Amino acid sequence: MNTTTEAAAGGGDLAVWVRTEPKLQEKVYGRRLPNGMELFVWPKPGFTKKFAALATHYGSIDSHFYPPGSNEAVHVPDGIAHFLEHKMFEEENGSVFERFAKLGASANAYTNYNQTTYIFSCTDRFEENLRILIDFVFHPYFTDQNVEKEKGIIAQELKMYRDEPAQEVYRHLLEALYHENPVRLEIGGTVESIQKITKEDLYTCYNTFYHPSNMVLVAAGDLDPEATLDLAAQEILARRPRVQGEIRRLYPSEPKGVRESRHEETLVAAQPILYLGFKDGQVGLTGEPLLRREVATAYVLHLLLGRSSSLYNQLYEEGLINDDFGTAYIASPQYAHIIIGGETRDPKRLEQRIWEGIHAFVAQGIAPADFARVRRRWLGHSVLQFDSVEYIANRCASLHFEGVNLLDYPEIVSRVTLEEVASRLKDAFVPEQAAASIVWPQAASGRKV
């Protein structure tokens, strides 16, 4: 594919760049602000919705760090990044939701292991909404009272997730796979851990991680890119003109091997659930190497257990799996693991059959024809992702923190070779790095439907 990068015409501001992918018919404008923040605008002519995401590279795993100007590291309560996300919506004069609502926009936010993202969606008055987004994310307002009030709300949110068997089996899998890495903890913390959170903790985290140099803004929709970049730059620089010091985060080193090779528990569920997990022995990749590893792993998983694989079809026909079965690879510079599983009538037998399938696959290797066919699938799918402004903005932000421009994604996918996939297959499934998490159903109390 041809990619061209040039200074945007007309504006005369060399800080604004534009890149195009003619074959993909996509274009992205960007600008790096003097305070270190990156801005992206994806013009999507013909789209009605206008969407923006303002994200900070700060998630649930960042609970041990040096506050700015301090030489003493602090350890904040688990779940604080998510708690902070909730509290950002509160202001002196009420809720941020109301400011967006007046303009007919809908706002929301989400926190994951690595980042906190604030989003809004509108069809009209984008500029005013963008001003509100920037204004509220750069304006913390925490009081003892509003922090206390939030505890009941978040406790309900955490309880809701814990009533989902699939979430529970995943949570226990991560607890089994990892000794130390904070990815083993719930993103939102626990009902107990959030009780300890104070407004002072929230300000400490805010002042440490909500730095422009640690943040990114992405807008997508039928927008004037240069005007949008100008407006965003002006609003952000008015609030945070300077570069702030480097963020020093502390992550525990993760030993090789798993903490426990299996975890079993009983709860209200339709039938047993098995998740097998495989922890990567080595992490620390960023940028294109990380993305290529993600894609190569996805190939491995699809060739091993996708709908077109013989193993998937055998397991299905043997009555061991159903529509719930799936695979995933979750990777970041700090942790990475494969998950395989779903509902099953016989978790022990399924576990055994998956291992047999893995050994056979590793022995047999990957046929070039299978690789070529799955590659076509990838090429198609990497294009379709550009049909949604939400997807573009959210994915552009998360890939930016990994060191990749979303526009390069289809091209990077197409560069992944059979050799890369074959070599990934060899190190993907190490027994010492594997764990199983099983949920057994409690005597069902649900009625027949």
Partner 1 sequence: MEASTFVTRPLAEGVTLYVRPTRQFKKVTVRLFFHHPLGEDAGLTALVPRVLLRGSRLHPTTADLARYREELYGLGLDAEIGKIGRDQLVEWELTGVHPQFVGAGQELLRQQLGLLAEVITDPLWQDGTSTSGQLSFRADYVDQEKRVLQDLIASLINDKRSYAMVRLYQEMFAGDPFSIYRYGSAEGIEPVTPHQLAEQYQRLLQESPLTIFVVGDVDPVQIEEQLRELWAQLLHDRPGHLPAGGWMPSPHPVRRTHEPQPTRQALLYLGYSTGGITYASDAYPALTMYSAILGGFPHSKLFLQVREKASLAYFAWTRLESTMGAMVATCGINAQDEERALDIIQHQVEAMARGDFTEEEWSATLEGLITGLRSAYDSPNSLIDRVLMGVVNGRQRPIEEMIAALQRVTKDQVVEVAQKVQLDTIYFLGEREAQG
Which 152-181 residues touch partner 1, going by CB under 8 A? 152-154, 156-157, 159-160, 162-166
Q: How far is the CB of 14 from partner 1 (least distance, A)?
A: 32
Binds partner 1 by CB under 8 A, chosen from 10, 92, 145, 447: 447
Contact 181, 334 (CB under 8 A): yes
Is residue 316 at the binding interface for partner 1, with CB under 8 A as the rule? Answer: yes
According to CB under 8 A, which one of 22, 34, 104, 289 is a site residue for partner 1?
104
**CA-wise closest residue to 413 among 372, 371, 368, 375:** 375
Length of the chain (residues): 449
- Alpha-carbon span 272 to 344, nearest angstrom: 6
Residues within window 279-308 making contact with partner 1, judged by CB under 8 A = 306-308
Q: Determine if 376 is a binding residue for partner 1 (CB under 8 A).
A: yes
As to burial, measured by CB atoms within 10 angstroms (0-12 exposed, 13-18 middle, 19+ buried), residue 211 is buried
| Residue pointed to by tokens 């024809």 | 369
Residue 259 found at the interface with partner 1 (CB under 8 A):
no
Which residue stretch of 70-78, 248-256, 382-390, 426-434 sits at the interface with partner 1 (rule: CB under 8 A)?
382-390
Neighbouring residues of 254: CB distance < 8 A, sequence distance ≥ 6: 178, 179, 180, 181, 283, 335
388 binds partner 1 per the rule CB under 8 A: yes
Closer CB to partner 1, residue 239 or residue 373? 373
Supply the DSSP symbol for 193.
Answer: G
Least distance (Å) from partner 1 to the CB of residue 51? 9
246 annotated active-site: no
**Closest separation in Å from C-beta 65 to partner 1:** 28
Kindly tell me which of 57 and 82 has the beta carbon lying closer to partner 1.
82
How many CA within 13 A on the CB side of residue 11? 19
CB of 97 to partner 1, least distance (A): 4
3 state DSSP class of 144: helix
Nearest to 387 by CA among 17, 117, 24: 24
Q: Which of 69/368 has CB closer to partner 1?
A: 368
Q: Are 385 and 21 in contact (CB under 8 A)?
A: no
How many chain residues interact with partner 1 (CB under 8 A)?
Answer: 75
Q: Which of 28, 132, 134, 269 binds partner 1 (CB under 8 A)?
A: 269
Site string for partner 1, 46-75 (x = CB under 8 A): xxxx--------------------------
- Taking CB under 8 A as the rule, does residue 83 contact partner 1? no
- The C-alpha angle with vertex 53 and arms to 49 and 58, in degrees rounded to 5, equals 160
3-class DSSP state of 119: strand
Site for partner 1 in 181-200 (CB under 8 A): none
Judged by CB under 8 A, does residue 319 bind partner 1?
A: yes
Least separation in angstroms between CB 413 and partner 1:
12
The DSSP annotation for 244-299 comes to PPPPEE--PPPPSS-S-SEEEEEES-SS-EEEEEEE-S-----HHHHHHHHHHHHH
22 binds partner 1 (CB under 8 A): no
Query: Is 158 or 233 the residue whose CB approaches partner 1 more closely?
Result: 158
Q: How far is CA 359 from CA 98, 215, 362, 424, in A?
A: 57, 43, 5, 14
Environment class of residue 319 by beta-carbon count within 10 Å: exposed (0-12), middle (13-18) or buried (19+)? exposed
Return the range that interacts with partner 1 (CB under 8 A); candidates 10-18, 29-37, 116-124, 278-286: 116-124
Counting contacts by CB under 8 A, is residue 261 touching partner 1?
no
Q: Identify residue 302 by its one-letter amino acid code.
A: H
> Using CB under 8 A, which of 379, 417, 426, 440 touches partner 1?
379
Q: Select 212 or 342, whichever has its Cβ closest to partner 1.
A: 342
Q: Per the residue annotation, which of 85, 90, 226, 351 is the catalytic one? A: 85
Taking CB under 8 A as the criterion, the residue among 116, 117, 204, 309 binding partner 1 is 309
Question: Distance between the two ends of the chain, CA-based, in angstroms?
Answer: 52
Q: Shortest distance, CB of residue 323 to partner 1, whole angstroms? A: 6
Cα gap 68→171, rounded to integer Å: 32
**3 state DSSP class of 352:** helix
Please give the positions annotated as active site.
85
